[in-house]
Amino acid sequence: MPVHILSQLWEQGFSSVPYGWTLLKLLPVIAVVYLLKLYFNGAVNTSERNMHSKVVMMTGGTSGIGAEVAKGLASRGAQLVLLTQHTLTDPFLVDYIEDLRSQTGNELITAERVDLESLHSIREFATKWIDNLPPRRLDMIILCANTRTPPGGEATFTEDGLESTWGLNYLANFHLLSILSPALRAQPPDRDVRIIFGTCSSYIGGVLPVSTDSSTADSKKGKKEKKEKKEEAVPFTPGSAYSTSKLALMTFALAFQKHLSSFTRADKNPVNSRVILVDPGWTRTPGMRRFLTFGSLWGLLVYMATWPLWWLFLKSADQGAQTFLYAAMEAQYGRGEGGWFLKECRQMGILKDEVKDEGVQKKLWELSEEGIKLLEQESAKRRAAEKNKGEKAGAKGKGKEAGAKTSATKENGAAKQRKGK
């Protein structure tokens, strides 16, 4: 068939083929779309590593990029521990894990219930994890959990009273890793331990609450500016809140690498835990869809109508997962000092100097520790008050029940007396 068509084209020209000139004119358009799609898909991970017996702890591993990262690692034999807010008997979670096991042929996929919007829930899980002798194996922690308020949306808050973007994107990760750090430092010296943070290029627009302190803390002018900033009410905007949470996460990540590296092991071997920052790029995830649609039904209709554009310019979740997989498997990141920033499967420079500023890192760490301490104290008081209230309600209910039984007994006795008479 192709030979006949080619011979007809040679002898009679394109006009002899139905829609021949139309197809010929479309070829450049198809070629341009193909090349654009190839470009916007980004880099593909070409590194491979034997992941059998590796224990990988993940947040955000049930949707979006995290789900694809989990699938990629599980298919290579890794043992996954998914931290999820769902109860372990939730039908969605049960079906998800069963599907993941069947797709990857890997039965070593489990879940632990951890509500990242609750500091108490994080502490309960993390202390349980480290309270074990010998220390549990832990080869990798991948932090994919993420939230973003749609443009124009109002601030939402965690159960501890934190703005959700700050609480989940930054403080939850700080709290989790702060408690798990002894488990990371206790791993054998020949083990390649990696902590992978998911971030975003929007960190460039973030402003930390301690950003200006490092240069003006000791001057009168600096103190005056600091007081004025405290007095001013900073309006909430979804974009700035998200950018600041990512900037804080990156600053903490580099500080955490120094925290791990400064530890002196009993066996005098060098520290084997390394921090890696990953920017997956713009990806078609549920969070991105919510952002593009402004969290509204009308926005969703517009998104569906313009979906070919988003298909062309945004990565799929699988393509967004490639740099995470590269960070997890590339051999060169199993040695060295850590603190790398990766994008499109290659190392990039951090464009904001305050991320690398040790003074800012230290003050952010101290501020976060103090904030968590106060919030946990308030949370403990609240739980104690709720417990006492429940106990009083239970005691009152038992008292009413006992009174009802006594009155019923008296009535029965009186009835028997009347019957005897």
Would you state the pLDDT for residue 226? 45
Would you state the pLDDT for residue 232? 47
Question: Any idea which residues carry the catalytic annotation?
Answer: 246
Q: Residue 400, SS3? A: helix
Q: Summarize pLDDT for 350-385 with one digit per residue, the tens.
A: 999 999 999 999 999 999 999 999 999 999 999 898
Domain assignments of the chain as residue spans, ordered by start: 2-39, 114-280+315-374
Q: What average pLDDT does the structure give for the chain?
A: 87
Would you state the pLDDT for residue 418? 54
pLDDT over 90 at 128, yes or no? yes
Would you state the pLDDT for residue 2? 66
Q: Summarize pLDDT for 300-357 with one digit per residue, the tens.
A: 999 999 999 999 999 999 999 999 999 999 999 998 889 999 999 999 999 999 999 9
Cα separation, 90 vs 93, whole angstroms: 5
Alpha helices by DSSP H, listed for 207-276, are 213-216, 220-231, 238-261
Tell whether domain 114-280+315-374 is in CATH 3.40.50.720.
Answer: yes
Range in 159-163, 245-249, 256-260, 391-395 with the lowest mean pLDDT: 391-395
Percent of the chain with pLDDT over 90: 69
Report for 93-97, 289-293, 415-419: range of highest mean pLDDT: 93-97
Cα separation, 56 vs 79, whole angstroms: 6
β strands within 240-361, DSSP E: 273-279, 340-343, 346-348
Would you state the pLDDT for residue 409? 60
CB-based contact 351:208 (threshold 8 Å):
no
pLDDT over 70 at 139, yes or no? yes
pTM: 0.85
Greater confidence (348 vs 217) lies with 348
Residue 405 pLDDT level (bands cut at 50, 70, 90): low
Would you state the pLDDT for residue 211? 54
- Read off the amino acid at residue 79: Q
